[in-house]
Structure formats: C-alpha cells, structure tokens
Structure 1
Amino acid sequence: MHIDLGDKVAVITGAGRGIGRDIALSLAREGVHVVACDVNSDDIANVTSELAAIDPLSLGYTCDVRDAGRIAELLADAHTALGRIDILVNNAGVVGDAPIDELDESTWDVIQDVNVKGTFLMCKAVAPYMKKQRAGRIINAASFAAISPRVRSVAYATSKAAVAHFTRGLAGELGPWNITVNAYAPGMIPTQMNHFAELPDDKQSELLDTLTLRRWGSTDDIANLICFLASDQASYITGSLIDVSGGKLATQIPSEAYHTD
C-alpha cells in the first residue's frame, strides 16, 4: 500500500516539540506542506527551520489555540500562501496532576481551555475551508486517559474524554462534506511533558507491566498513524478513537505473559 500525501497542506498545533514535532516532520517527508503552530516561539522557530530543509513551502506560526482571532489570522494567511487546507492535527495539549481537593480552579480551567476549547476553536475555524473543498481530514489528540483515567489526573482525563466525544459528534456533522474526523489515544510514549523514561527503574518497570507490548511507545508510532489517517486509504474511517498504547490493559494482567516459567 502506497500512501500518497504529496502537495497536501496540513495545519498542526503543538508542533514545536515532542509528538507534534515528529508528526510535522513525518508529514513533511511524505510531501505535505506543513503549517506548524505552537505557543512557544523558540520551539516553533526550531521546527520551522527543520521543516524548511525538507520543504521550503512549509510555514511556522506562534499561536495560542485559545485565541480565536490569532487562529483565524494564521489560517487565512496559510490558505492564501498555499491555496488549500487538507489536514488539521489538533495535537496541542497540557497536563496537570493533583488530587481533586488540591486541584486549583485555574489549573482546571487551563487544561479544559487548551485541550477542549483549543480543539473546538481550531475545528470551527478550519471547517469552512474544508467544506468549500468538500474534503478534509481532522485528527484530534485524545489520550488513553480518555478510556481509563489515572488517579490524580481527573482534569486531564476529563478534557481528553471530551475531545473523544467531540470527535464523534463532529464526524457526524461534517460527513456530508467528505470530511473525516478521528482521534488518537497515545499510551506511554516518553515526552518532555510526561518524563516516563526519566523515572526510576522500578517505577518504569511497574508502568511497563501494564502493557501487552512491554516497551515504551515512540513518537514515530503516532506519526505513522497520523500519516495513514490523513491519507485516502483512511477515507472510510471517521468518528473513531484509535488506541495507540501497546495494548495497555488489553488483558487484566498483561505482565503474566512475561513472567511464565
């Protein structure tokens, strides 16, 4: 199967580092003109430089996904420069861990605003462009926490469950325009946000024991899925939440398979 994404245009939020950066670079290598967005100006400058070495037409913008005005501005600019918008990857997100009785209201608000409202605002702004084309791919970052929340992470889990449900509703709404909307649920993929690979060995082992494939995931695992979902090969997949977790808790005690005599 050959995935052909040549000359497509993709807008990616949270593209400055981690999973978002690797999604941006992977799509660029597939021939996509990438519009990279991130709230951190230094990060976006770095990834824009990397993208330019692959595709001189790629663009970079500093953007807070909570800012509807800035979103409208950059999409209009990108559409003028590149002529279309085919793919939106809502990767931007934040976390905040605390027991509910210690969770600041401001932390709750930021998590919901970035993870849920930011996804809503990006989708709202890009929909008219995709409707006019009568084609598009919207791909939203959920999390395994949307399926099974972690203790002391209720705000994050709530936001990602909302993204998953928003994805299903939006898929139904945009289906008549041949626009698919899907979400992905990463599991344990070490990033600068979660620091999984920096934990003590015993803690890492404890977490890996929850995986059917007992290894950390990689950002490439996510980027490969995004390339597929953005392609024509995924044209009949919409409204789905795709688990990319190495089979996290697929069985009750997956570690038993690794400790047999």
Structure 2
Amino acid sequence: MLIDLTGKVAIVTGAGRGIGREIARRFAREGATVVALDIRKAWLEDIAAEWDRNGWPGQQHLCDVTERDMIETAVRTVDEQLGRIDILVNNAGIASGARVEDMDDAVWGMNLDINLSGVMRMCRAVIPVMKRQGAGRILNAASFAAIIPSIGGAAYSASKAGVESLTRVLAGELGPHNITVNAYAPGMIPTEMNHFAERPGPEQERLLDTLTLRRWGTPDDVASLLVFLASDFAGYITGTMVDVSGGKFATQMPWVAHRPPT
C-alpha cells in the first residue's frame, strides 16, 4: 500500500517541535504541501529552513489557536494562495495541571482554551473551504488521558475527553460533505514537554510496565497513523478515536507477559 498525498494541502498546528514537527515532516515526505502553524517565530523560521533544504513545498504562519483573528487570517491566506485545504491536523496543546482542590482557574481555563477550544476554532475556520471542495480530513489530538485519566490531570483529561466528543459531533455534521473527522490518542511518547525518557530508572520501569509493547512511543508512530487517516485508504473511517499507545492497559497487568515465568 503506497500512501501518496501529492497535491494535498495539510495544515498542522503546533508544528514547531516534538510530535507536531514530526507530523509535519511525514506529511511533507508523503508529498503534501504542509502549512505549519505555531506560536514561536524562531521555530517557524527553523521549519522554513528545513523545508527549503529538502525542497518541500509549504508555508509557515505565526498563529495562536486561542486567537480567532489569527486563525482566520492564516486559513484565509492559505486558501487564497494555495486554493485548497485538504487536511487539518489539530496537534497544538499543553499539559499543565494540578489536583482539583489546588486547581487555579487560569490552569483549568488554559487547558480548555488551547486543547479543546483551539481545536474547535481551527475546525470552524477550515470547514467552509472543505465544504466548497466537497472533501476533507480533520484529525484532532486527543490523548490516552481521555480514556484513562491520571491523578492531578483533571484539566488536561477533561479537555482531551472534550476533543473526542467534539470529533464525533463534527463527523456527524460534516459527513454529508465527504469530510471525515477523527481523533487520535497518543500514549507515552517522550517529548520536551513530558520528559518521560529522562525520569529516574525505576519510574520509567513502572511506566513501561503499563504498555503491552513495553517501549516508548515515537512521534513517527503517531505520524504513521495520521498519514493513513488522511489518505484515500481511510475514506470510510470517521467519528472515532484511534488509540496509538502501544496497548496501554490493554490487559490488566501487561507486564506479566514480559517477565520470565516463575
């Protein structure tokens, strides 16, 4: 199966680093014209240099997903200059938190504003373009925390569970226009934000024990799923959330299979 996204225009939010950067690279390698959105100008300049070195077509736009005007300006520019928007990857997000009794309103609000409302704003902006085309793919970053939340992660988990619900609603609303909408739920993928692979050895072992495949995920594991969901091969998949967590808690005690019989 050869996935070819040549001629497609893909917008990726939070594309400056980490998982978002690898998603953007993977779409570029598959032939898509990638429009990178991020809040850091320096990261966008770095993307522009990388794209230039590799001869990949694309654009970079400074954009904060909490700001409707910035979003609509970026989307309008892409539509006017490239003529279409085939794929939207809502990757931008944060993961701050606290226990509920200690929760600051600003922390709660920021998680919802970026992780959930930011997804809504981006979707709202691209929908008219995709409806005009009669086709589109929207891919929303949820999290394994939307499946099983963590202590101290109320704000993050609530925002990501909201993304799953929003995804289902959008799939229903946009189905008549041949626009599919799906969410993806990464598990433990080491990034600069979570530092999983930098934690003390015993803590890493406890975390890995929750995974059926018992290895850290990689940004490319996520990107591989997304290029498939964005392709013609996934035209009959919509309104769902795909778990890309290495089988986290697929069984009650996944570590048992990785230890010698006693």
SS at match of 1:256: helix
Q: Which residue of 1 aligns with 2:21?
A: 21
User: For the residues of structure 1 that align with 2:84 and 2:183, how far apart are their CA atoms?
Assistant: 22
SS at match of 1:36: strand
Q: Which residue of 2 aligns with 1:167?
A: 167
SS at match of 1:182: strand
User: For the residues of structure 1 that align with 2:96 and 2:127, how far apart are their CA atoms?
Assistant: 30
User: For the residues of structure 1 that align with 2:104 and 2:79, how far apart are their CA atoms?
Assistant: 39
TM-score by length of 2: 0.98
Q: Which residue of 2 aligns with 1:103?
A: 103
Q: CA deviation at 1:56?
A: 4.7
Q: Which residue of 2 aligns with 1:43?
A: 43
Flag the 1:222–1:177 CA change in 2: closer, same or farther, 3 A.
same
1:188-208 Cα offsets, whole Å, 9 max, x none, are 000111110110000000000
Q: CA deviation at 1:4?
A: 1.6
Q: Which residue of 1 aligns with 2:241?
A: 241
SS at match of 1:248: coil
Gaps of 5+ in 1: none
Flag the 1:178–1:55 CA change in 2: closer, same or farther, 3 A.
farther
**How many residue pairs end up in the alignment?**
261
On the 8 A contact 2:97/2:108 being kept in 1, the answer is no
User: For the residues of structure 2 that align with 1:83 and 1:54, how far apart are their CA atoms?
Assistant: 23
Matched, 1:215 2:250: no
Gaps of 5+ in 2: none
Matched, 1:187 2:168: no
Q: Which residue of 1 aligns with 2:149?
A: 149
Q: Which residue of 2 aligns with 1:121?
A: 121
Q: CA deviation at 1:54?
A: 3.0
Identity, in percent, stands at 55
User: For the residues of structure 2 that align with 1:133 and 1:167, how far apart are their CA atoms?
Assistant: 20
Q: CA deviation at 1:101?
A: 1.2
Cα RMSD after superposing both structures = 0.9
1:149-191 Cα offsets, whole Å, 9 max, x none, are 0111010000000000100010000000000000000000001
On the 8 A contact 2:189/2:219 being kept in 1, the answer is yes
User: For the residues of structure 1 that align with 2:177 and 2:15, how far apart are their CA atoms?
Assistant: 27
User: For the residues of structure 2 that align with 1:23 and 1:60, how far apart are their CA atoms?
Assistant: 14
Q: Which residue of 1 aligns with 2:131?
A: 131
User: For the residues of structure 2 that align with 1:207 and 1:48, how far apart are their CA atoms?
Assistant: 36
Q: Which residue of 2 aligns with 1:224?
A: 224
On the 8 A contact 1:29/1:54 being kept in 2, the answer is no
TM-score by length of 1: 0.98
Moved over 4 A (4+): none
User: For the residues of structure 2 that align with 1:37 and 1:19, how far apart are their CA atoms?
Assistant: 13
Matched, 1:11 2:34: no
